[in-house]
Amino acid sequence: MIAAARRADVAAGLFVGDESQIAPWRERGVSVFVCGSDQGLLMKGARRIIEAGRA
């Protein structure tokens, strides 16, 4: 997929589960990422708010 994108001079995109998976794929030539899900992003933000309220 990455090689085909390069040949066509278009961006290669990929879904990753979280931000820790971006760097290895970027090194391989992927430049567009969909990271996580809407629900996951909302949960992550909610956890930060809860933690701030407990501090």
Least confident of 9-13, 34-38, 43-47: 34-38
Q: Confidence class of residue 11 from pLDDT cuts 50, 70 and 90? A: very high
CA–CA dist 20, 33 (Å, integer)? 12
CB of 13 closer than 8 Å to CB of 32: yes
R_g (Cα) of the chain, nearest Å: 16
CA–CA dist 32, 14 (Å, integer)? 6
Q: Confidence class of residue 31 from pLDDT cuts 50, 70 and 90? A: very high
CA–CA dist 39, 7 (Å, integer)? 35
- DSSP H or E segment with residue 34: strand 32-35
Question: What is the pTM for the complete model shown?
Answer: 0.67
